[in-house]
């Protein structure tokens, strides 16, 4: 992962260190990987952040830093979501990063397909619906997490691809539905990002070489690359931006 100091220097001309001072940010799926980078970025820029993980182990293993708290939350549990949202003092930004995938063709099994879609797509909708009233009160923003597979097929991960395609369309639909409430709804679509979940791909020389060959910028993305896009989309600089699914992929989609 990129050194946060390097990221801050790169963002120096764009993001003020106190940009999110006083803001309360919720990051679902924010205890590791991309979600953790986003949660940390908001905290470094002044926000009070609550990042959630699906299990107690996820919460216990999460990075500790000022302004960042961690709680357990299963986005497949609507009752738990309602209680979690009700406990927040306010919500200025909701980031939906909670997601799963199942490798080795398991997603062709119907029960597994349903489980993945329930977490990735329906879980995102549960969070958005539960937080809508609080976001209306603050004039807040939602950032969902789409994927390259919102645009491309995935032969071995049909549930993941379908769910992320759904997240893209959900983002556009909620952008329209929530606009009258003063809520902006956008999504980031990460390309190939170096996280624990992509470790097997990075270690596979054939797959790794193919990914790098198609990526014009010639490298894997870092979680902080996605965090920068999230900071922008939630900021006043994007005040007239809604319904966007923003690829952050080093040019992978256009190559």
Give the H/E segment covering residue 68.
strand 68-72
Q: At which residue do the structure tokens 């609507």 appear?
A: 78
121 CB-near residues (< 8 Å, 6+ apart) = 162, 163, 164, 166, 167, 170
> Which of these is catalytic: 20, 160, 178, 192?
160
- Catalytic residue at 160? yes
Residue 4 CB neighbours (<10 A): 15
DSSP 32-67: SHHHHHHHHHHHHTT-EEEEEESSHHHHHHSPPBTT
Distance CA 156, CA 111 (A): 15
Sign of dihedral through CA atoms 105, 109, 113, 116? negative
Q: Report the b/e string of 13-22 with b at 16+ CB within 10 A.
A: eebeeebbee
Residue 50 pairs in a beta bridge with 26, 69
What positions carry a catalytic annotation? 160
């Amino acid at each position: 992962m990129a050194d946060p100091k390097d990221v801050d220097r790169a963002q120096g001309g764009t993001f003020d260190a106190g940009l999110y001072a006083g803001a309360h940010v919720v990051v679902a799926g924010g205890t590791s990987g991309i979600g953790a980078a986003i949660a940390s970025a908001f905290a470094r820029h002044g926000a009070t952040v609550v990042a959630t993980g699906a299990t107690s182990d996820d919460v216990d293993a999460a990075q500790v830093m000022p302004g960042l708290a961690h709680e357990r939350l299963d986005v497949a549990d609507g009752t738990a979501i309602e209680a979690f949202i009700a406990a927040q003092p306010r919500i200025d930004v909701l980031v939906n990063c909670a997601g799963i995938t199942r490798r080795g063709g398991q997603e062709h099994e119907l029960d597994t397909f349903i489980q993945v879609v329930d977490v990735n797509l329906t879980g995102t909708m549960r969070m958005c619906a539960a937080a809508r009233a609080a976001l209306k009160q603050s004039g807040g923003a939602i950032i969902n997490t789409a994927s390259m597979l919102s645009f491309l097929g995935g032969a071995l991960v049909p549930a993941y691809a379908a769910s992320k395609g759904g997240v893209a369309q959900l983002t556009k639909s909620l952008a329209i539905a929530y606009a009258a409430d003063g809520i902006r709804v956008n999504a980031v679509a990460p390309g190939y990002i170096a996280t624990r979940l992509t470790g097997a791909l990075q270690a596979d020389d054939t797959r790794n070489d193919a990914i790098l060959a198609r990526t014009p910028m010639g490298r894997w993305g870092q979680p902080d690359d996605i965090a920068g896009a999230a900071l922008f989309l939630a900021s006043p600089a994007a005040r007239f931006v809604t319904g966007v699914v923003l690829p952050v992929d080093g040019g992978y989609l256009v190559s």
